[in-house]
Amino acid sequence: MAASKKTAIAIASGVLALGAGIGVANLASADTTPTPTPSPTSTPSGTPSPETGRGWSGPGRGSQDGGLARELADKLGLEEAKVAEALRTIKEENRPSGRPDPITKPDLAEREAALASALSSKLGIDEAKIKSALDEIRAAHQSEREAALKARLDAAVQSGT
């Protein structure tokens, strides 16, 4: 009985020593490089950009409702508050009930046509006029993105990166 007790203690000590060795090895190989923190002046991708007054700066985000409302109101000759309220109402009416399927994304043309139709009924303006305004806004945003990309690429070429 004494021999089995000594054996059990020896095995337990070995397991503890092995565990401690693995823990020390993991600690020694841990990355000690500090994680950079964003500066207060930087605008992370996907957040509103106060400098441009536009909506989302991240890729594929489009305009935030406030920026879109302002631009549509200018193009359509309406009050921004009226357009903003119509956009909010449409957004609430079309809020998905569950999580959207990331594989089957809705067609952009279909979404824009549905938005133009809904805005037409909410604002009492011809759907073609709204579609034209949305097309102009999208084209302006696209050329701004292209100009920003060209500036970034030119800067990268100049710096040799």
Domains parsed from the chain with CATH numbers:
62-94+108-159 (1.10.150)
If DSSP codes are grouped into helix, strand and coil, which group holds residue 107?
A: coil
Give 3-state DSSP helix, strand, coil % of the chain, rounded to 5: 65, 5, 35
Give the helix/strand (H/E) hosting 48: strand 48-49
Residue 116 has pLDDT above 60, yes or no: yes
pLDDT mean over 88-101: 84
Alpha carbon distance 56, 5 (integer Å): 68
Alpha carbon distance 68, 138 (integer Å): 10
Residue 5 has pLDDT above 50, yes or no: yes
pTM attached to this predicted model: 0.54
